[in-house]
Every structure is written in structure tokens, then in C-alpha cells.
Structure 1
Amino acid sequence: MQASKLTAVSLAVAVALTMSACGKKDDTAADQAGASGAAADGGSAVVKLGFVAPLTGPQAHYGAEYKNGVTLAIEDANASHPTLGGKPVKFELESMDDQADPKTATEVAQKLIDEKVSGVIGHFNSGTSIPASKLYSDAGIPQIAMATAPAFTSQGFKTTFRSMTSDTQQGSVMGEYVVKKLGAKNIAIIDDRTAYGQGLADEFSKAVEGAGGKVIKREYTTDKSTDFAAILTAIKGMHPDIVYYGGADAQSAPMAKQMKRLGLNAPLVSGEMTKTPDFLKVAGKEAEGTLASLAGLPLEQMPKGKDYASRYQARFKEDVATYSPYGYDATRVMIAAMQKADSADPAKYLPVLASIDYTDAVTTPHLGYDSKGDLKIGGITVYKVVGGKWTVLESVGGAAASAAK
């Protein structure tokens, strides 16, 4: 009886050791593939990529379209049967909702770090990307964010990269444009006090004055407000040539309607968060004449814009709005850096990402970053609402010049 027990125990120990050895073998395979936090999945190691954006609340439409681009990029990458370290891998998305809230952003960032993601696409807002970036930097995890505020890449973190041109260029180009091209001299500015809205308005203001224009009024609201009667009434009495707004379409659309109802007939000018289908829907006929800047080229002028638009529509049954091509490119360039480094270990592929010249992007002929993580090729496009549609007025800067070569 005792011998039987010993035999059983010996057998159990042998099985346990065998199982342990198998487990170590699987872990080694994942390590060789370079998959941070990878797990076995049908013979492939899983490489987790984090994604963060507002997926609920008034900015959810931005996050949803952004996520679509990232999703399509991962599906395309997996369809090519990728390998790392000679082993097959599968890329999977760990999606988080930060609700455009800085506190929530740091909480979900820590969750992604704890889940050992190999990289992060996002966050969407500057106000969420900036506080989260410190956590990713401390963890050594590369982050490619939609954030456009200059402060995002001026922190000195080696892990921060942008998907779009910064507000320094976008605001400055638009400020000069309204003075020199539109002939505006007296300009009123409103911003929503977010890192994005205020940063964009600040750069715009500096450029206006540098071009010879005058900022006759600077007003502030919040990214939760929808009633701007008091602000607009005060501005109306100063007879501005244009009204500039730094913020999102949840505010700029009702602002456009209220401007017309108050008889404030100066054009509304804004940034890329206003250049959306939602702005047109909410503002209705009062959207007419509104101008907005958007980083990069118009979709139809992007190197692979037409093909992307067709594949996006087929996959998601809707047209491209604004942000998804940039989410797509951010994901593909991160994966390309992993493949070039032959590893998903952030410490190994981060230097490759920092120096990459990616020539298979949708949005630009050459996607690469400077020493701060800003895009080497920038430029913006100016749009105007004509006949209820966003219409291209002019493309200005590096992206347009590069595409023309």
C-alpha cells in the first residue's frame, strides 16, 4: 500500500516536472518571438498592443473611428502571417476607454502596463496622452498618440511619438493663413481650456500677431459647455473679421449655430476636431462657410488614400471621417519596427521605431520621427464648408511638398 502511494507520488512528480518543462518551452518560444506578455494561441505567440481613446461620452465618435483604423491595421498585419524570432505571432488589441478624462487615462494606462502590452496606440486627446506618457515612459513602452499639443513631445521621453502634425505647426500655419490669405485683421479667439484646445489657440494667436493681425478678444469655455451666448454677444460688439475656436465639434457645432442666430456673421475657423461629419450634422445650414485645418493631406491626395478609403468602407460600412488613417499608420509603423528588430520586446524595437523611415504608409510617402518624436514630414490642409460639405481650399507645408515629388 505504501509502495503504491510512493509510486503514485513519483508518477505525479514526473508528470508535474514534464508539464513544467513544457511550460518553460512555451515561454521560451514566446521570448524568442519577442512577444512581451505573449501567450500561446493556436501555435502562434500573441503580441498585445494597447489602444486608448474616448469610446463613450461626447467624443466617442472620434475614438470609434480611430479604433477602426487600428483594427484594420492589425487585421492586415495578421493576414500576412507575421513571424518574430523565427516563430509565428498574432497581434491582438487590448482596447481601453479613457473617456477623454486625464485621471481615467492614467488608470487605464497602468492596466495596459500591468497586462504587459508591447506598445500603445493612443491616447487620442492631448490632455490624456500627456499624463499617461509618463507611465509608459517609466515602463519603457512605446506610445504613438494622436495628441497634437506641443507639450506631449517636449517632455523628453524617448517612448513618445505622434500620429499627426503638432499644434505648433497647425496653429501657426492657420494663423498666418487667415491674415495673409483671408485678409482678416481683427480676430477673436475662444478655446476650451483643454491641453489641445488651448495649445492650438495659443499657437494660432502668436501666428496671427506675427503676420500683422490683431487678437481683439480672447475668451474661454469648457469642453462640456454648449451655451455660448454670453461669450458670443461680447465678441459681436467688437466686430471681428473671424472667430477662431480651439476645441472639439461638440462645442464648435452649437457655437456655429449660435453665431448665426446672434447675427455674428464672421466666419468660424477651427482645428481638425471640427473637421468632422458630426459638425456638419449638428451645425446644419449654419455650418456653411466654416473653415478648419487638418494635419496632413486630404484623403484623396494621400499616397494610398483611395485604396484605404475603399477597404475601410468595405470593412466598416461607413466612410473615413478624419482620424482612422493615422491610427492605421501608427499601428503599421509600430509593427514594422518590431519586424525589423525581429522582436516585440520594447527595449529591442524602440530604437528601430525612433529611426524608422516607413515608406508603406497611407498618409505620407515617408513616415518617420525626429529626435523628439514629432513627424519629420508635416503640413496641413485648409478646408471650408461649401454646400454642406467639407471642401479642400489648400494644402500647405511638408506633406504636400513631399507628395508632389
Structure 2
Amino acid sequence: MTDRVAARKKPPHHCVGADFGDAQQTSVFHVGQYWMQITGSGGSEFGANQHYYAQAGALRKQMKRLAMSGYLFGGDAICNAEPAKLGGDAVDARVYCPQGGPVLDQTQEGRQFKADYKQRFHTDPLTYSAALYDGVNIVAEAMQKANSIEPAQYRAALAGIDSHGVSGHYRFDKNRDLTDSSITIYTYRNGEPTPLGSSQPWIDIAQPGRRIAV
């Protein structure tokens, strides 16, 4: 998508950025959005981006109040139920965010982890609970293979790990990046982040009206 945006000589919309450091200063959102609308970004072509749920909930609420029909895109820090608690029904299917890893409910390992977690902690797993659980187990496995708890000793064993965990298959390439690294895109329904199905369309903001599959 980024390549397509760069390739367009005259994009049909503007990209406007703002940094709201204090989530409590929500009055600033009104000013920013009004300016975005009058400079031609508003309507169905507008996409806002927020990284944290406190700002995202307030921003989406004010977008709806101003009758802005665009989309709100956020990072994994907004991918939980908190934006809807702050933004109410304004946090809807026009909000998108990603999470690393698969949907827990879609695998046997994930469902078991979720059930065990809830039984022990009386709440659903947080965004990266499963990934952190896997990470600790991977480091422990590397320590066992190296017969050492010293990082300098088990680093090579860690780089050569090949292990299946709750969140997927863990192995690394020569640059020590994961070779299997999935991302799930979520939208909001009934106040909860809901994963998009593999055949559901994703909005291509580079070319309005055109859609690409997730």
C-alpha cells in the first residue's frame, strides 16, 4: 500500500498528522479535526491514526460528533476493549488496529491457554500475554540446551531455536528475525475488537473505492 501511495503523483487526499501528548486535553481534537476537514481531508477519504486507547476513544467519539465518516487506524495499543469504553458506540467497524500473532480462539493451543489464564487470573489474556508466555518458554528452552543461564552462553541456542508455542511457530533467520510472524487485523463490533476474516475486505486508502483482501 505504501508503494502505491508514493507512486501516485496527485493523491486524492491529504495526510495530516498531529501529536496529542496529553490524552486529557480532548478539546484539542476538535481544533485538529476541524482544520483537517476544511483543508480537504474530511469525509470518506480521511484516515486518522492514534497509538493509544485513551486518545483513540476520545478522537473517534469526536470524529463521529463532527460527522466525519472516515476511518480511525491505530496500533496494537488500542486493540482492546478500552477505546469503546471511552468512545461508546462511536468505536465501530470504521476503526482498525493490528495485533501480532493469531487469534487465540482459532487454535486448540490458544483456546486452552485462554481458559487456563482465565481460571488462574479471573480475566481474559491481555494483548500479548500468550506471546510473553511463549517468550519465557523459548528462553528457558535455550538455557536448557546450553546448560547455562548466562546470556552469552545460551544466545547461540536461542538463535537456533525451533519451537511451537501458543502464538505460533518460533524460529529465526540469519538476521535473527522470526521466519513465521503473523499479524491479525481487528475492527470493532459491539464494543469489542473483532478479527477480520481472511476473506473480508480491507480498506485501501491509496485508491479509494478499491479494496484488497487481508
Q: TM-score range by the shorter chain?
A: 0.7 to 0.9
1:311 and 2:112 equivalent? no
Compared with structure 1, are the counterparts of its residues 248 and 381 closer, same or farther at alpha carbon in structure 2 (3 Å cutoff)? same
Compared with structure 1, are the counterparts of its residues 208 and 291 closer, same or farther at alpha carbon in structure 2 (3 Å cutoff)? farther
Q: Aligned partner of 2:30: which letter?
A: A
Compared with structure 1, are the counterparts of its residues 336 and 317 closer, same or farther at alpha carbon in structure 2 (3 Å cutoff)? same
Question: Aligned runs of 1:79-90 on 2, under 5 Å?
Answer: none
Q: Aligned partner of 1:326: which letter?
A: A
Q: Flag structure 1 segments of 5+ consecutive residues without an equivalent.
A: 1-175, 177-205, 397-405
Compared with structure 1, are the counterparts of its residues 252 and 356 closer, same or farther at alpha carbon in structure 2 (3 Å cutoff)? same
Counterpart of 1:354 in structure 2 is 159
1:329 and 2:134 equivalent? yes
Counterpart of 1:218 in structure 2 is 16
1:277 and 2:81 equivalent? yes
Question: Aligned runs of 1:36-185 on 2, under 5 Å?
Answer: 176=1
Question: Structure 2 CA distance, aligned partners of 1:393 and 1:207?
Answer: 23
1:341·1:352 contact (CA, 8 Å) conserved in 2? yes
Identity of aligned residues (%): 27
Compared with structure 1, are the counterparts of its residues 276 and 356 closer, same or farther at alpha carbon in structure 2 (3 Å cutoff)? same
Question: Structure 1 CA distance, aligned partners of 2:127 and 2:186?
Answer: 12
Q: Which structure has the larger Rg over C-alpha atoms? A: 1
Cα displacement (A) at 1:236: 2.2
1:277·1:321 contact (CA, 8 Å) conserved in 2? no
Compared with structure 1, are the counterparts of its residues 381 and 357 closer, same or farther at alpha carbon in structure 2 (3 Å cutoff)? same
| Number of equivalenced pairs | 190
- 1 or 2, which has the higher helix percentage? 1
1:376 and 2:179 equivalent? yes
Compared with structure 1, are the counterparts of its residues 372 and 224 closer, same or farther at alpha carbon in structure 2 (3 Å cutoff)? farther
Compared with structure 1, are the counterparts of its residues 262 and 387 closer, same or farther at alpha carbon in structure 2 (3 Å cutoff)? same
Cα displacement (A) at 1:338: 0.5
Q: Aligned partner of 2:130: which letter?
A: P
Cα displacement (A) at 1:241: 2.1
Cα displacement (A) at 1:302: 4.2
1:344 and 2:149 equivalent? yes
Q: Aligned partner of 1:358: which letter?
A: S
Question: Structure 2 CA distance, aligned partners of 1:210 and 1:301?
Answer: 36
Residue aligned with 1:358, SS? strand
Cα displacement (A) at 1:283: 1.5
TM-score, structure 1 normalization:
0.44
Cα displacement (A) at 1:342: 1.4
1:382·1:395 contact (CA, 8 Å) conserved in 2? no
Selected match of 1:264 from 46, 61, 68? 68
Q: Aligned partner of 2:111: which letter?
A: K
Query: Residues 172-228 of structure 1: CA distance to partner in whole angstroms, max 9, x if unpaired?
Result: xxxx3xxxxxxxxxxxxxxxxxxxxxxxxxxxxx35615866551221214434421
1:297·1:363 contact (CA, 8 Å) conserved in 2? yes
Bigger relative contact order, structure 1 or 2, given CA contacts below 8 A and separation 6+? Answer: 2
Residue aligned with 2:48, SS? strand
Compared with structure 1, are the counterparts of its residues 232 and 279 closer, same or farther at alpha carbon in structure 2 (3 Å cutoff)? same
Counterpart of 1:255 in structure 2 is 59
Question: Structure 2 CA distance, aligned partners of 1:388 and 1:250?
Answer: 15
1:394 and 2:197 equivalent? yes
Q: Aligned partner of 2:131: which letter?
A: Y
Alignment RMSD (CA, Å) = 2.2
Compared with structure 1, are the counterparts of its residues 214 and 282 closer, same or farther at alpha carbon in structure 2 (3 Å cutoff)? same
